Amino acid sequence: MDLKSLLKSFWQMIYVFRIAGLHALSLYFISNSVGLLAMTTGVHGCPPRPEFNNWYLWLNILFAIPFLVISLYYILHPSVWMQTISKHLVFTPTDINLPFFSTHPVYIFIDALFFVPAIALFQSGRAESMCEFKSEWAMGWALLTLAFFYPVFRVFSWYVLNRRIQAMTLKPPILPILWGYLIALPLIIFFTYTYMDTHVLPRLRVPVVNELTFTGGIDEHPEFLGRVVRVQGVLTRGIAKCGLFGKDPEETPFPFGTVLVDLGKKNGQIIVQADKAHLVKNLELEALNKKGKIFEAFGRLIKLPNPKKRLICGIGKTDEKQKGGLALLELEMP
């Protein structure tokens, strides 16, 4: 193959990115909308979060619909895009006009690029049981479903619905797709790993404090002190909210809140504390209807400071003399 043919196929990659771009934008906005709707309505036993029903949700829906319609339109109604490539880019005497199909069965290889982020988000969503991360769970399902849907729908439309341009025969743009892979695949892998390394893997790397790893209580496990950990224990007391000092709770949110988690016989208990109004709200919803069930939270584990001064919200309802002791988890994401 000569240099001119390689250059022509390279610049045809623009149309590969046009197809992939429509695909990517529809996947992003649809999956994001599904994640926000899942938080708004409540899924998997988690309470509804009506505060997510805001302008951001509707803005995502507003963008999702046209990008979905346009990307599917060019599959159901195939067209030929004529691309003019400047003679200076391909070193020819005149400009070159090249046809490019808006859809073709070989484009399933373009669609396949999106399995990388789809599988990563799907797996991270499945690994989480906390209500705080249910948007990831819903987004993962939506993204993976759409990643399968596009190539299946493309092939179905071409072969079963016969939605193709019969009058023209074009060679499948294999080389432009390969150029696209050389550029796009490393970028997709990089951004997917960056997202996972920033948002997901830190949660998987932190130590887990539960009945098995916390035998004997806080005094027996100095390795957890001062570190961000993931606590898993049985919720024995729901939310206690404090700190308004005479203010109207209908107008002013509580700045402090705690729940109590039991780590098993002779392992002690942990007070989980939120010290900001939005964290108190999250803690209350996370603990809703979970009394007597497994409760999880991320935070920094410390010994209870000055327990006799009763400065911790709801500490009066705990048994500080129990075996294993009483520790404090200050909510903090890894």
SS3 78: coil
Residue 167 has pLDDT above 70, yes or no: no
Whether the CB-CB separation of 213 and 207 falls below 8 Å is answered with yes
Q: With bands split at pLDDT 50, 70 and 90, how would you rate the model's confidence at 317? A: low
Q: Which parts of 156-246 fold into alpha helices (H)?
A: 174-195, 201-205
pLDDT at 294: 92
Q: Pick the more confident residue, 288 or 166.
A: 288
Backbone angles phi, psi at 238, to 5 degrees: -75, -165
Residue 60 has pLDDT above 90, yes or no: yes
DSSP 46: P
Backbone angles phi, psi at 286, to 5 degrees: -65, -35
Indicate the average pLDDT of the chain.
88
Could you tell me the pTM of the whole model? 0.84
